Structure 1
C-alpha cells in the first residue's frame, strides 16, 4: 500500500456478493483520493436534475429534511475489513470511521486544519509545546471526551508493535512528556518546533477513541455523528443517528455502507434505486449520465495530482537541464484530455493546486519543443533514451505513459514504456528506475514536502535530497508568523518549479454519483478532507 488513503487504497480481494443487492459484485481495487490516498481550487461542478438545473442550485433552494435511510456504496476490502478507526486504509474505512468517530482537527477545502474535537490550540513562543483545548463532547455511551482519551488514542496509534495509519504523522510528538493539564486540556510536547502542528491533529486516521478501547468490530463507541448498529465485514455496515452529536444531529435516521467494488454495479444499483450514493465513478460514466436527469454527478475538482516522477540522483535526470526539458515536452492539456478523459485540469509542476500555501503566481508552463531540444543538446542528451515505468495500478497511468511517449518523440527522445505489477508498483518505483507515473491524493502542501521531498523522507520517489531545501523546511516550521511562513514555502516551491523531479501535468476530478433526491453533498470536498463523505450533513429531499 502506498500512502493510503492519501495516494491509494489497496483492498483485499473478495469475489462474493450480497444476495440483497445481486448487482453488487466485489473485487480488489486501488484508487487515489488520497490519502488516502487522494486526493485544490475545489469548485464543484453542478449536478443536473431532470429540469437541467444544477444540484448545487437545488440544494441551495431546498430546506433540510429529517428522516430516511441513506445507502452509500464504496469499494471495500473483503472479510478482513474492520471498524478500528486507526486501521483505516480504504475509502470505505475512512468514511465509516468519519461516521462513528472524530479527530481533534480535520482538513478544510484548502487542506488547512480546521478545529473539530479541539476547540482551540495555542503554541508557546518556541513552537515546541502546544496547548489544545477540547470542546464539550460525549462518546456514544455518555462519557465525556477527555484529555486522557486523547492521550490514550495517540499513544495507541504510536505503539511500535502496531502498524496504525497515523503513526508516522504523530512522530513529532513526545508522547511520554505530553500530559493532561485538566479534563479538557492537553499539553503536547514536541521533539522540535512545528508551526504546522494542527496538521498533525488532522492526520488521516488520528481518531479519538475512549481510553482503554481495543475492540471495535462488535460494538464500537465513538463521539461521531452516527452510532453503531451492525457490521458485516466485506458486505455492509449500518449506523443510526446520534441525536446528541456536538455538531448537530444528522438529518438521516440511518446510514448504510454497502460494499461494491465494481463501478458498473454501483451505477446500476444507483439507477435502480438500490442506493442513494455511489463513490468513485469513472469519467465515461459521468459523461453518460450528467444532465440526463436520472442521477446527479458530483465532481470534486483537483482531488488527485497526476505526475511523472524523475529520479534526480541518477542519469539522465541528475542534470537539471534534462528535467527542465521534460517539463517543456509535456502537452498538459493533451494528457488531461487523453489520460483523464478531460475529467481534470492541467498542472504546473507543483503539488496542491488551490491548497493553502500553493504558489499560484508562477507562470503556467507550456509545451516548448524547441527549447526542450536546445536544453537536451546542451546536456549532451540529444538522442536520449529513457524507460518510463507505469502500471494499471491507477486510472490513466498506462494512457498517460503512451501519450507522453509520443510527445517525447517529437523532441527526439525515445521513451520505452515498461508496465509493472499492480501489487508491487508503489514499492518498486521508490528506488528502482529513473522515470515513472505517479499520483497523490489530497494532503497539506507541508505534508507533501515532509513526506516526499526531504532528505530523510520515507516516500521520496524523486530522490530530491538537498540539505539547503531541508533547512528551508525547518525554517518554515520554526516561523510563527503565517505570512512569513508562506513566503518560505513559496521559495521552496519556486525551486521545485525550476528544477524539481515532479512533472505535475494534471489534477484529476473525483467523481461521485447520487440519487436525484439527495441534498447537502458538499460542493468543495476533495477526498481526505472534512466534508468528503460527510453524511451527517446530507438529507433526502
Structure 2
C-alpha cells in the first residue's frame, strides 16, 4: 500500500536522484527499507542494460511452425517474427502507432489511399538494403486468389501497391481511417524479395535479431543483428532462445529453477502464489483477447441457430471467470469486440445462464437429447479441458450430453481447431475492431472458424471501415455486435488478461503494448536483463 502513496513521477524516477527519492518517501511515511526496494524496482524498469542471453519458455509453438509468416498462429513464431522482422508501422508500448520501416504516412482526403515514406539506410540481416520492391512484394504476399495467408481477409480491400520514389502508395477499394493499424498484424512483415519473390526460407528480416537455429516445436535461437536500424533504441540482449513448452507446470518450474527468464500463460490457479516467490514478478495486462467455443455451422446440429442459442443460455460464464481465469478476466457476450475497444457496445444485454430460455430454444430446435463432442487441449488455453467438464455439468439438466475429448497439444491448431465441429479456442487481441472482424466474422474471412456468415454483417463491416463520422461508426459496430451476440456461432464466455511471469532479472519499462501478449509480442526487443 505504501507504493500507492508515491507519485507517478517518483515511481518512474524521472528527474529525481536516489537521495531525493528516499527523502520524499520519508516525508510521506514510507520506511527506509521499503523505499529502497521501490528505488531498486524503479531502477530496474527505467535503465535498460545491454548484454546477456534471454531464455523464454512459451506456450504457442508447434512442430508445424515455419518461417513463412503467412502461416503464423502461435506466440512462439509471433515473438520470433517481432524480433527478426518489421512492418511499415508498429504498435507501440503506449498502444499508439509508431513509425517502423515507414518514417511517416498520410492518407488522401477520404482515406482511400495511403502513402508511406520509407526509412532510408535500412539493412536486412543478410546485408541487403531495403527497397520499395521488398515492401510491395511482402504486402502482395497476403493478397490475391492464390494467397494462402491467414491475413488475406485483413488486406482484401487493397487494390494496388505501387512505388513512387522512396514511398509506397497503397490504394484501397474504399475509405479506411484505421488502415495503418492493419499493418501491425503479425503476419505483415517485410522480407527481402529478390526478383519480386519474397524470401521466406530463412529468418532474414530488418529486425533487431536474426535466426541462428530453428527447431519447430522445440526452440528458436536468435542473436543480435548489429546493423539493425533500431539498434540505438531497442534490442538489449545479445541473444535469446524461445522454447516451445506447452505444459504450464513445466514452464513455471523452469522459471522457479532459474532456467528461463520469461514464461507466458502461467497457471492462473497458482499465479498469485507464484508471484509471492522471491525473484518472480507477474505481468498482468487487461486485454481484448478472448476465449471462444466456435461451432461449425455446416455440421449438424450446429446448423440450427436455435440449438446454438440453447448452448449460449446453457453455459455459465461466471464460472469461467471464477474457476478458469481465477479473476484474471471479464465476462464475455458471444461477440469479439471487448471492453478495451473504442466501439465496444456495453449496453447490449448480457447473455446469462438461464436454463428456462435454454430449454425453450432447445425444444424449438427439435434437438432435445443431442449428444455432441467438444474438443479441448491445454494448447488452446490453460484450463480448456476443465471448462469442457464445467460445460458438461451446465448442459446436463437440459438433456444435452456433452462428450469432452482431450486432444493432443501438438498440432492442435492444424488438426483440431477449424476442423472439428465444436472446439476450445482463443483469439489474441487486435488493435482495431475492423481487424478482428475481417479475419473471422465476415463470410469470407480466412479464419472463419464457424462457416457462419451474414450479408448484413459483411455490409456493416465494410461500411464501418470507411465511415469517418465516429457517431455513425459507433452505431454500425453496435449493430454488428448485436447480430453476432444473437445469431453468431461462437460462444465467447470471457475476455482475459495477458498474464506472464518473469524473473526479477528481467527489466521492463512497466508499460506493455497490446495487440498480443508479451508486450504485443515485442518482448525480445523491448525487455532487457539486469546483472
TM over 0.5: yes
> By how many angstroms is 1:180 displaced?
0.9
> By how many angstroms is 1:257 displaced?
1.3
Choose which of 462, 478, 481 in structure 1 pairs with 2:469: 481
* Pair 1:197-2:186 in alignment: no
Structure 2 matches for 1:54-203, cutoff 5 A?
58-59=41-42, 62-75=45-58, 88-107=72-91, 115-125=99-109, 127-136=111-120, 138-139=122-123, 145-156=130-141, 163=148, 166-167=151-152, 169-174=154-159, 177-183=160-166, 185-191=167-173, 193-203=175-185
Which residue number in structure 2 is paired with residue 440 of structure 1?
A: 427
Distance 1:210 1:271 in 2: 40
- Greater shift in the superposed pair: 357-366 or 108-117: 108-117
Instruction: Note the alpha carbon deviations across 1:146-187, whole angstroms, 9 max, x for none.
Output: 43331132245559777555455444334xx4211111x111
Question: Aligned pairs, how many?
Answer: 484
Which residue number in structure 2 is paired with residue 259 of structure 1?
A: 243
Which residue number in structure 2 is paired with residue 20 of structure 1?
A: none
Choose which of 200, 209, 212 in structure 2 pairs with 1:230: 212
**Are residues 324 and 114 of structure 1, via their aligned partners in 2, closer, same or farther at CA, if it must alter by over 3 Å?**
farther
> By how many angstroms is 1:103 displaced?
0.7
Distance 2:399 2:334 in 1: 20
Asked if the contact 2:452–2:489 (Cα under 8 Å) also holds between the matched residues in 1, the reply is: yes
Structure 2 matches for 1:245-394, cutoff 5 A?
245-246=229-230, 248-250=232-234, 252-261=236-245, 263-302=248-287, 304-310=289-295, 320=305, 322-353=307-338, 354-376=340-362, 379=364, 383-392=368-377, 393-394=379-380
Distance 2:69 2:358 in 1: 48
> By how many angstroms is 1:86 displaced?
5.7
**Are residues 70 and 204 of structure 1, via their aligned partners in 2, closer, same or farther at CA, if it must alter by over 3 Å?**
same
**Are residues 171 and 55 of structure 1, via their aligned partners in 2, closer, same or farther at CA, if it must alter by over 3 Å?**
farther
> By how many angstroms is 1:248 displaced?
4.0
- Greater shift in the superposed pair: 306-315 or 280-289: 306-315
Asked if the contact 2:434–2:465 (Cα under 8 Å) also holds between the matched residues in 1, the reply is: no
Instruction: Note the alpha carbon deviations across 1:451-495, whole angstroms, 9 max, x for none.
Output: 322233343333432222222222223323344323211111122
**Are residues 82 and 56 of structure 1, via their aligned partners in 2, closer, same or farther at CA, if it must alter by over 3 Å?**
farther
With a CA cutoff of 8 Å and minimum separation of 6, indicate the structure with the bigger relative contact order: 1
**Are residues 286 and 388 of structure 1, via their aligned partners in 2, closer, same or farther at CA, if it must alter by over 3 Å?**
same
> By how many angstroms is 1:105 displaced?
2.5
Instruction: Note the alpha carbon deviations across 1:15-43, whole angstroms, 9 max, x for none.
Output: xxxxxxxxxxxxxxxxxxxxxxxxxxxxx
Asked if the contact 1:390–1:397 (Cα under 8 Å) also holds between the matched residues in 2, the reply is: no
* Pair 1:540-2:529 in alignment: yes
Instruction: Note the alpha carbon deviations across 1:264-304, whole angstroms, 9 max, x for none.
Output: 44434433333322334322452441122231122343364
SS at match of 1:103: coil
Distance 1:247 1:364 in 2: 48
> By how many angstroms is 1:334 displaced?
1.0
Choose which of 189, 192, 215 in structure 2 pairs with 1:207: 189
* Pair 1:516-2:499 in alignment: no
Which residue number in structure 1 is paired with residue 20 of structure 2?
A: none
**Are residues 112 and 437 of structure 1, via their aligned partners in 2, closer, same or farther at CA, if it must alter by over 3 Å?**
farther
**Are residues 372 and 140 of structure 1, via their aligned partners in 2, closer, same or farther at CA, if it must alter by over 3 Å?**
closer
**Are residues 51 and 131 of structure 1, via their aligned partners in 2, closer, same or farther at CA, if it must alter by over 3 Å?**
same
- Give the structure with the higher percent helix: 2
**Are residues 413 and 509 of structure 1, via their aligned partners in 2, closer, same or farther at CA, if it must alter by over 3 Å?**
farther
TM-score, with structure 2 as normaliser:
0.76
- Kindly report the root-mean-square deviation, in angstroms, between the aligned alpha carbons of the 2 structures: 4.0
Distance 2:40 2:476 in 1: 40
* Pair 1:467-2:458 in alignment: no
Asked if the contact 2:219–2:242 (Cα under 8 Å) also holds between the matched residues in 1, the reply is: yes
> By how many angstroms is 1:66 displaced?
2.2
Asked if the contact 1:451–1:460 (Cα under 8 Å) also holds between the matched residues in 2, the reply is: yes
- Greater shift in the superposed pair: 85-94 or 52-61: 52-61
Extract unaligned runs of 5+ from structure 2.
1-32
Which residue number in structure 2 is paired with residue 399 of structure 1?
A: 386
Asked if the contact 1:88–1:205 (Cα under 8 Å) also holds between the matched residues in 2, the reply is: yes
SS at match of 1:208: coil
> By how many angstroms is 1:321 displaced?
5.1
Extract unaligned runs of 5+ from structure 1.
1-49
Asked if the contact 1:104–1:117 (Cα under 8 Å) also holds between the matched residues in 2, the reply is: yes
TM-score, with structure 1 as normaliser:
0.75
* Pair 1:239-2:223 in alignment: yes
> By how many angstroms is 1:335 displaced?
2.2
Instruction: Note the alpha carbon deviations across 1:64-113, whole angstroms, 9 max, x for none.
Output: 14223141223586888655656645422222221222111244689886
Instruction: Note the alpha carbon deviations across 1:95-143, whole angstroms, 9 max, x for none.
Output: 2221222111244689886543334433445654322233446225787
Which residue number in structure 2 is paired with residue 19 of structure 1?
A: none
Asked if the contact 1:118–1:132 (Cα under 8 Å) also holds between the matched residues in 2, the reply is: yes
Distance 2:71 2:294 in 1: 29
